[in-house]
Structure 1
Amino acid sequence: MKRPAFFRASSSEKRRSALRRAALMLGIGALTALALPPVHFLPILLFTFPMLGRVINRATTWKEAAWAGGLFGFGLYTASLYWLVNAVMIRAEEFWWFVPFPSLGCALILAPMTAAPAALSLLARPGPRRMIFFAGAWTLFDMGRVFLFSGFPWNPLGSSLAIPGHVGDVLIQPAAWIGVDGLTLLLVLGALFCGEALQDAWRARQEKQCVLLPTPTSRWRVVALAALIVGGGLSASLFRLHSVHPSGENGPIAVIVQGNVPETEKVGHQNPRDIFLRYLRLTASGVLQAQKLKQTTPALASSPIVFLWPETSFPGYDLLQDSPRARQLIMAWGAGAEAGIIGALRLDTDNRYRNSVLALAPDGGIEAVYDKARLVPFGEYQPPFIPLQIVPQGGMAAGPGPQTWHLPNVPGVGPLICYEVIFSGAVVDEKDRPRWLANVTNDGWFGNSAGPRQHLSSVRLRAVEEGLPVARAANTGISIAYDGYGHELKRINWGKADVLIVPLPPALKKTFFAHIGRILPLTLCFICMFFALITYQKDMKRTFKR
């Protein structure tokens, strides 16, 4: 029997309404990506998060809230990870069919990490309590991204505060206590409540219904509390910048070599000899400049010179691993340096590839080897449930984790390869703390896009969290050096073959975050969630007594 027309119209209208809501969530999620590096448009959060919060507050079922949070996250991660497509385009003739999947696939995997906190928020009473719960749950699940496959904690919302220049220097200092995850929690709370206060004030002027903060008093309280938190954070930042000073021995004079080798040449094993010679010439030039700097600057007279080559510097693995002559050549061209830190592929005793960095002595001998421990999902590491062979030979073998090298005449250094630097609280050997960090990377896969800039913000935040200077050598850029405050010392921009000579300052005193790691932001998340639930339980008891 055919249904009456009014039933069909009602059903059709519901579908259209559902599609509009879905499109809205996807859209505001995508707009939220504007807050992330390299745009750093933080005001957008005052628009997008309150809209998401409003939908969660009105949700009557956990499915409704989960769909809203999941679609928001899908839009956010699709927009912020668009640059992953560039890696596939380098080998488009082989993996053309895979082009749509990197950004969309990663977003689909990450979307449950925003759907879950939205759904769980229904445990708390609608209104401010639910929003406090949601902020804690969002940050908690964001922290949990380290457990996805080999981990993918890319673009935490707190990285939005790593604005280039002195403004960012001030904004990111609280990471020395609460880490980037604590910054994320504060941003989500601030965006939800301050954004809603502004929007409710506008509605009140338009004589429309206010949603979260119905009275002027409640709105002013939120603004006053936000001003107090921001003022306290800025005061703590300025206090750290002016009262915490470097101590101990100077870092080395870092000679950072950026070869600017197109990834197509490396993948196709084109011109390996020319690429090798390019690195040799840049190294010789950089070490010579560093020696002149030592001669003209008495404070640097005893500083060692260390040069850094990027991750997988040139095509082929056997040149460094099996050729003592090649290693001797490198150090001969870098004569005067106490050590060379070289990114290279190698084969282990089980014939498994490893993404490694080698420390070369002045005579060309291998002083130390570090193998990358955190492998890039679907790039260097293939989850076993994927039926298609995406990663060549099933991926690489992983190393044991953070190490500290004690090279002759060189302050203790913690090597990090590429992707590893995004893991907050997991970049140094806690039992053997280094004096500086050496990050070698190859962002050439991702083109001149947002990807390398987002990666760079992680390097800067690790410097603040650990209070350690960082020297970063990137193949195509951006090569850079930061001090322990996250302040930029020098850089080579994208797409330029050049060498950077940077005397690294001493390390800062071990930060509070370096002592306890992610325990404090984790605790803050649980406090928010428990506060929302306990307050709700008290309200329920009062209701039953009446």
Structure 2
Amino acid sequence: MWDRLLGHLAARRGWRALVTAAGLGALAALALPPVHAVPVLLVAIPGLLVMLGAAPTGRAAFWVGFAWGWGHFAAGLYWITHAILVEAERFWWLVPIAAPALALPLALFVAGPAALAWRVRAGWPRVLVFAGAWVGFELLRGWVFTGFPWNLLGTVWAFGALPVQAAAWVGVHGLSLVTLLVMATPLLGRRAMLGGAAALAGFAAFGLVRLWPEEPAPRPVGLLIVQGNVAQELKWREEQRIPVLRRYIEGTREAALAALRDLPEDYGLVVIWPETAVPFLLADDPEVRRLVAGALPQRAMLLSGSVRAEFGAQGRAQRVFNSLVAIDPAGEVRGVADKVTLVPFGEYMPLSGLLPIRIVQGGMDFSSGGERRPVRAGWVPPFGALICYEVIFPGRVTPAERPDWLVNVTNDAWFGISAGPWQHLAAARLRAIEEGLPLARAAQTGVSAVFDARGREVARTGLGETGVLMAPLPAAREPTPFARFGLPIGGILAVLALASGWWAGRKTNRQP
């Protein structure tokens, strides 16, 4: 049956080959969060490689890879449509094309490896070239056009802490490389499949060894994450501004008092509100800060997402920032972090003035915060602030001066009840493991969570729920190899795989 399936795939030509490849790519998306149906890759990856081998020319192989990538990203990023539906009356025409259109440039990052793999002979050489080139293009995807490293292939294993512990050494890109090599083994015979199974068993054993030791005692800090569950279409309406503020204040007041009663007397409490939690300029509005401070006990500190503005001489805003603001019980601002990596089209318009439409809300683009620095807010252990999708960038989440923990505030209300928030959560888990730092995540509609420095889930709220999450702040661990050396680890592994496959597979007369 397996040979018959491969033969059927190899026989596809023309538009039928492209449709079939797109279907295989969409099938591979089921391996991503939240489904994590990883075994589908045992069909999707070999199927793609067989179709590449059967392609008559390098150009045909390129388009087969492009179709596979388009199907994969269109299916994996379908939830982008939810953001369009928030303002369907303005952007209704984007609803059917948003995800397919975004998948078009992303498909190039599969087409490139496909074209390179076609040029070497079948077997291990083609698998190595394809896997190495895939990881190289994954790394490139994190930088081109400001970068969009969402749904890197290694995230398929992020359904738990154990399968992804190797990310501490090789990063998510190293996991992507191993995933491709293992999933291609059905093309390489029984011994290769046994080797792939042994590799997965080795990774599991490595995970057990890392997770076996008892965790260090937590820091003398309690965390209280408030998940307001405010629908995006309501959040910025004028008549909803006070109700939204009241929801967060009231949700914090009783929960903070209860949390401090349960904590030792020498513990402090860090309250975390999500990205742009309340529709006010918190850092610039003393009256709103006074109301917020009324919900904070004396041993508490609030970290809240908020829009921040810089005003000119005429009292007009000259620049606006997507920020995280620390507020103490006296209503004073104790620290600010501005978002560094902005979302194209969501927070600023690329090629400003050249596009005929404006998707960014409001009359101004957001400004970047510049260099990433640890935030120091009174007695709170210094932390790295990651606002929204900044957490998806491996190797770029910590400042040069290593913080004690990471805080990720986000507003996934844009994406409704979909796969988007779960994919975002998986990226956050991987960053904790790669950096060896605990991570607290506050999401407007969920999923909010706390991970320890090994990526184990300490606590979590549900998606689309209103509530609070209470947990101790886990201790930081020693810097991991990935924290020390970063993305070059994945780059070196990619080059080694590609070069060895190219050297072994080069020949004058290419055979499928």
TM-score, normalised by the number of residues in structure 2: 0.92
Aligned to 1:510: 479
Between the aligned partners of 1:412 and 1:124, the Cα distance in structure 2 is 50
* Deviation of 1:146 (Å): 1.3
**Normalized per residue, which structure has more helix?**
1
Check 1:123–1:337 CA distance in 2 against 1; reply closer, same or farther (3 A cut): farther
* Deviation of 1:152 (Å): 0.6
Aligned to 1:328: 290
- State which drifts further: 22-31 or 488-497: 488-497
* Deviation of 1:189 (Å): 1.1
1:180 matched to 2:209: no
Residues 165-215 of structure 1, C-alpha deviation per residue, up to 9 Å, x if partnerless? xxx22101111111111111111111112x32xxxxxxxxxxxxxxxx4xx
Residues 477-530 of structure 1, C-alpha deviation per residue, up to 9 Å, x if partnerless? 111111111111111112222111111121111111101111111111000011
Check 1:117–1:386 CA distance in 2 against 1; reply closer, same or farther (3 A cut): farther
Between the aligned partners of 1:525 and 1:123, the Cα distance in structure 2 is 17
Residues 48-75 of structure 1, C-alpha deviation per residue, up to 9 Å, x if partnerless? 1101000112234221111011000000
Between the aligned partners of 1:520 and 1:322, the Cα distance in structure 2 is 43
Aligned to 2:387: 417
Aligned to 1:462: 431
Aligned to 1:54: 50
Between the aligned partners of 1:348 and 1:128, the Cα distance in structure 2 is 57
- State which drifts further: 353-362 or 391-400: 391-400
Check whether the contact 1:421–1:458 (CA below 8 A) recurs between aligned residues. yes
2:342 corresponds to which letter in structure 1? L
Between the aligned partners of 1:406 and 1:316, the Cα distance in structure 2 is 23
Residue of structure 1 aligned with 2:488, choices 519, 522, 525: 519
Between the aligned partners of 1:127 and 1:87, the Cα distance in structure 2 is 43
Aligned to 2:321: 354
Aligned to 1:222: 192
Aligned to 2:273: 309
Other structure's SS at 2:417 match:
coil
Check whether the contact 2:221–2:268 (CA below 8 A) recurs between aligned residues. yes
1:366 matched to 2:317: no
1:233 matched to 2:229: no
Residues 424-448 of structure 1, C-alpha deviation per residue, up to 9 Å, x if partnerless? 1111112x11111111111001101
1:356 corresponds to which letter in structure 2? S
Other structure's SS at 2:305 match:
strand
Other structure's SS at 1:149 match:
helix
1:92 matched to 2:88: yes
Residues 202-231 of structure 1, C-alpha deviation per residue, up to 9 Å, x if partnerless? xxxxxxxxxxx4xxxxx2320232133222
**What are the residue-to-residue correspondences of 1:152-163 with 2, within 5 Å?**
152-163=148-159
Check whether the contact 1:63–1:119 (CA below 8 A) recurs between aligned residues. yes
Between the aligned partners of 1:68 and 1:386, the Cα distance in structure 2 is 31
Check 1:17–1:122 CA distance in 2 against 1; reply closer, same or farther (3 A cut): closer
2:111 corresponds to which letter in structure 1? A
Q: What 5-or-longer segments of structure 1 have no aligned partner?
A: 1-15, 197-212, 214-218, 295-299, 542-546
Between the aligned partners of 1:522 and 1:115, the Cα distance in structure 2 is 19
1:308 corresponds to which letter in structure 2? I
**What are the residue-to-residue correspondences of 1:75-474 with 2, within 5 Å?**
75-163=71-159, 168-193=160-185, 195-196=186-187, 213=188, 219-243=189-213, 245-246=215-216, 250=219, 252-294=221-263, 300-317=264-281, 320-349=282-311, 351-384=318-351, 386-392=355-361, 393=363, 395-430=365-400, 432-474=401-443
Other structure's SS at 1:406 match:
strand
Other structure's SS at 2:52 match:
helix
Residue of structure 2 aligned with 1:501, choices 455, 460, 470: 470
Check whether the contact 1:36–1:155 (CA below 8 A) recurs between aligned residues. yes
Check 1:441–1:503 CA distance in 2 against 1; reply closer, same or farther (3 A cut): same
Between the aligned partners of 1:50 and 1:138, the Cα distance in structure 2 is 14
Check whether the contact 2:320–2:364 (CA below 8 A) recurs between aligned residues. no
Residues 5-30 of structure 1, C-alpha deviation per residue, up to 9 Å, x if partnerless? xxxxxxxxxxx941211110111111
Other structure's SS at 2:496 match:
helix
* Deviation of 1:531 (Å): 0.3
* Deviation of 1:127 (Å): 2.9
2:43 corresponds to which letter in structure 1? F
* Deviation of 1:104 (Å): 1.2
Other structure's SS at 2:324 match:
strand
Check whether the contact 1:305–1:336 (CA below 8 A) recurs between aligned residues. no
- State which drifts further: 254-263 or 227-236: 227-236
Aligned to 2:314: none
- State which drifts further: 435-444 or 259-268: 259-268
Other structure's SS at 1:472 match:
strand
Check whether the contact 2:244–2:278 (CA below 8 A) recurs between aligned residues. yes
Between the aligned partners of 2:82 and 2:220, the Cα distance in structure 1 is 36
1:36 matched to 2:32: yes
2:337 corresponds to which letter in structure 1? Y
State percent identity of aligned pairs: 40
Between the aligned partners of 1:394 and 1:181, the Cα distance in structure 2 is 36
Between the aligned partners of 2:119 and 2:17, the Cα distance in structure 1 is 23
Check 1:427–1:382 CA distance in 2 against 1; reply closer, same or farther (3 A cut): same
1:533 matched to 2:495: no
Check whether the contact 2:235–2:244 (CA below 8 A) recurs between aligned residues. no
Residues 271-311 of structure 1, C-alpha deviation per residue, up to 9 Å, x if partnerless? 211111111111112211221111xxxxx442221101110
The structure with the largest alpha-carbon Rg is 1
Between the aligned partners of 1:69 and 1:41, the Cα distance in structure 2 is 21
2:460 corresponds to which letter in structure 1? R
Aligned to 2:6: none
2:301 corresponds to which letter in structure 1? A
Check 1:130–1:397 CA distance in 2 against 1; reply closer, same or farther (3 A cut): same
Between the aligned partners of 1:310 and 1:533, the Cα distance in structure 2 is 48
Check 1:386–1:124 CA distance in 2 against 1; reply closer, same or farther (3 A cut): farther
Check whether the contact 1:471–1:482 (CA below 8 A) recurs between aligned residues. yes
Other structure's SS at 2:271 match:
strand
Check whether the contact 1:136–1:529 (CA below 8 A) recurs between aligned residues. yes
**Alignment length (residue pairs):** 490
Q: What 5-or-longer segments of structure 2 have no aligned partner?
A: 1-11, 312-316
* Deviation of 1:394 (Å): 6.0
Check whether the contact 1:360–1:368 (CA below 8 A) recurs between aligned residues. yes
Other structure's SS at 2:302 match:
strand
2:505 corresponds to which letter in structure 1? Y
Between the aligned partners of 2:21 and 2:318, the Cα distance in structure 1 is 48
Check whether the contact 2:374–2:385 (CA below 8 A) recurs between aligned residues. yes
Other structure's SS at 1:382 match:
coil
Check 1:394–1:119 CA distance in 2 against 1; reply closer, same or farther (3 A cut): farther
* Deviation of 1:468 (Å): 1.1
Aligned to 1:70: 66
Other structure's SS at 2:270 match:
strand
